[in-house]
Amino acid sequence: MTALLEVRDLEVTVRGRGGPVTAVRGLSFDVAPKEILAIVGESGAGKSLTVQAVLGLLGPSAEVRGSVRFAGRELAGAAQSSYRDLRGRRLSFVPQDALSVLSPVHPVGEQLAIAIRSVQGGGRKAAFDAAVRALERVGIPEAGRRARAYPHEFSGGMRQRAVIAMAMVNEPELIFADEPTTALDPRIQAQILELLNRVRDESGAAVVLVTHDLAAVAGFADRVLIMAAGREAESGPVDQVLTAPRSPYTADLIASLEELYR
C-alpha cells in the first residue's frame, strides 16, 4: 500500500542560548492510509518536535532537514503558504493542552463552526448545526446546550473531546495527537484512545499518536516507533515489539512497565 506520509532522514536542529542542538537525528518512518502509528519515548526523546516538523509548526529558531512527503507532496522546508490548504483540511492536530487551541472568549460550538466555515463555507446556522453534530459524534452529552458553553465550563476530558471534534470536523486524512491523554485519569484516558480509534474506523483517517506511555499503545496502535535521544530505537507491529523487542532500550521500557504494574 502506498504510504500517506513518508518521512526520510528527518533532522531537527534547535538554536538556543547554549548553541544549536540536533534534537531529531536521521528519523525515517511511513504512515499508511487508515493506520494508527504510535510514536513512543521518554520526555526529551524528540517525539513532539518530530510532529511539529511534519506539520510546519516550528519557529525560526529550528532548522528542518530531510524529506517529509504527504500524499506525494514535499513539505520539508516549505513556506507556511504551502500548509494553508493542508492544516485543518487534510492534516489536523490534537494537542496535549486543549486550552492552547480553544479560545476562552468564544463558545465551543462557535469555534467549531468557524473551523467548518473556513474550509467548507456555508452559512452560520448550517455550520453551527454541523458543530453540534460533531460534538455528539465525540460523545459529549447534551451537545446542543454544550455547544453554547465556554471551554472553562467543560471538564478536562470534555475539552479533549471537543478538540478531537475540531480536528476531525473537516474529515482530514491524517490526525496527529500529541500526548492527548496527559493529566487525565486512567478511565478518561482509555475513553479518549477509544474515541480516536473510532474516529479512524468511521472516517478512514490515519492517526499518529505521540505518547510516553508504552502501555497505552497495546491494543490501540497498529505499529509503534520507539524513540530515544532523537533517534529510532525500534519500530514494527505493536504485538511484535511488545512481545519480542530487539532493542535493549525497548526491553528496558517493557521491563519497567511490568515492574510498575507488578
Judge whether residue 64 has pLDDT over 70: yes
Q: Give the C-alpha distances (Å, rounded to integers) separating 175 from 40, 65, 155, 251.
A: 16, 22, 23, 29
HEC profile of the chain: CCCCEEEEEEEEEEEECCEEEEEEEEEEEEECCCCEEEEECCCCCCHHHHHHHHHCCCCCCEEEEEEEEECCEECCCCCHHHHCCCECCCEEEECCCHHHCCCCCCCHHHHHHHHHHHHHCCCHHHHHHHHHHHHHHCCCCCHHHHCCCCHHHCCHHHHHHHHHHHHHCCCCCEEEEECCCCCCCHHHHHHHHHHHHHHHHHHCCEEEEEECCHHHHCCCCCEEEEEECCEEEEEEEHHHHHHCCCCHHHHHHHHHHHHHCC
pLDDT at 179 over 60: yes
Between the alpha carbon of residue 26 and those of residues 41, 45, 67, 100, 202, the distances in Å are 16, 13, 10, 30, 34
Topology (CATH level 3) of domain 5-105+150-260: Rossmann fold (3.40.50)
- State pTM to two decimals: 0.91
| Measured distance CA(60)–CA(49) in Å, rounded | 13
Count CB atoms within 10 A of the CB of residue 202: 10
Dist CA 183 CA 180 (whole Å): 9
User: Does pLDDT of 260 surpass 90?
Assistant: no
Q: Note the residue count of the chain.
A: 262
Residue with cell 492517526: 207
* Three-class secondary structure assignment of 113-164: HHHHHHHHCCCHHHHHHHHHHHHHHCCCCCHHHHCCCCHHHCCHHHHHHHHH
Q: Mind listing the pLDDT tens digit for each residue in 196-214?
A: 998 899 889 999 999 988 8
pLDDT digits (tens, 9 = 90+) for 221-245: 999 999 999 999 999 999 999 999 9
Mean pLDDT of 93-118: 93
Give me the pLDDT at residue 258, please.
Answer: 61
pLDDT at 1: 61
pLDDT confidence tier of residue 182, bands split at 50, 70 and 90: confident
The per-residue pLDDT for 106 is 96
